[in-house]
Amino acid sequence: MARRFTARETALRLLARRDHSREELRQKLAAREYSDEDIESEREELSRKSLIDDGRFAEAFVRWELERGFGALAIRDRLRRKGISLPEDAIADEREIDSLRAYLQSRGIDPAAPSPAAERARLSRRLRGRGYRGSTLAKVFGSTRIIESGEDAP
């Protein structure tokens, strides 16, 4: 018969792979059917020892997602699902602009090059789908010609 790990052992095994938010760790331990009391006790102990830290997790997650070519809206939405709420201005415009420029460069897209309206609209939808704000698109593309009407939403 296979040995069942304690909540602490399981939490440490999860954290050995990568950082987790407090909520993410709670969900994973609950899915393995540990008691709420054991889960909360382990989360408190791991927090006290700085093995889980939502601030550190959020900063690393934001950095990673920006490097992967995602915008602020998508990142905030993903963090919210992991139990972390970021203020709207938590991701600086400059960081998002740099992320967008790197993403465009990696795809061979020159934001200054002229392009047909249909292509600009398609690109705008794709970038909005990746969570970039309309204001960021306007700054990178040099005008509002890339931006379709609509609100900034993930």
Domain enclosing residue 24, as ranges: 7-52
Name the more confident of 115 and 129.
129
User: Same structural domain for residues 88 and 19?
Assistant: no
Q: Is 136 within a domain?
A: yes
Q: Do 62 and 46 have their domain in common? A: no
Q: Do 96 and 122 fall within a single domain? A: yes
Whether 68 and 100 map to the same domain: the answer is yes
Q: Where are the alpha helices (DSSP H) in the chain?
A: 7-17, 22-31, 36-48, 54-67, 72-81, 93-106, 117-129, 134-141
The answer to whether residues 101 and 145 belong to one domain is: yes
* C-alpha dihedral, 49 to 92 to 136 to 126, nearest 10°: -10
% residues pLDDT > 70 (the chain): 90
48 and 59 belong to one structural domain: no
What's the chain's average pLDDT? 89
Q: Percentage of the chain surpassing pLDDT 90?
A: 76
User: Quick one: 31 and 76 in the same domain?
Assistant: no
Q: Is the pLDDT confidence value at 96 over 60?
A: yes
Domains in the chain: how many in total? 2
Is residue 66 one of the residues assigned to a domain?
yes
- The whole-number pLDDT of residue 116 equals 86
Position 111 scores a pLDDT of: 87
Same domain, 140 and 107: yes
Q: Write down the residue that tokens 């010609």 correspond to.
A: 145
Total-model pTM: 0.81
Q: In which band, very low, low, confident or very high, does the pLDDT at 131 lie, cut at 50, 70 and 90?
A: very high
Class of residue 107 by CB neighbours under 10 A (exposed 0-12, middle 13-18, buried 19+):
exposed
pLDDT of residue 150: 44
**Is residue 125 assigned to a domain?**
yes
Considering the domain architecture, whether residues 92 and 148 belong to the same structural domain is answered as yes
Is residue 1 a part of any domain in this protein?
no
Domain match, 117 and 66 both: yes
- 2 found inside a domain: no
Whether pLDDT at 154 is above 60: no
Judge whether 34 lies within some domain.
yes
**5-20: per-residue pLDDT in tens?**
899 999 999 999 999 9
Angle subtended by helix axes 22-31 and 36-48, to nearest 10: 150
Q: Report the pLDDT averaged over residues 25-46.
A: 95
Distance CA 129, CA 122 (A): 11
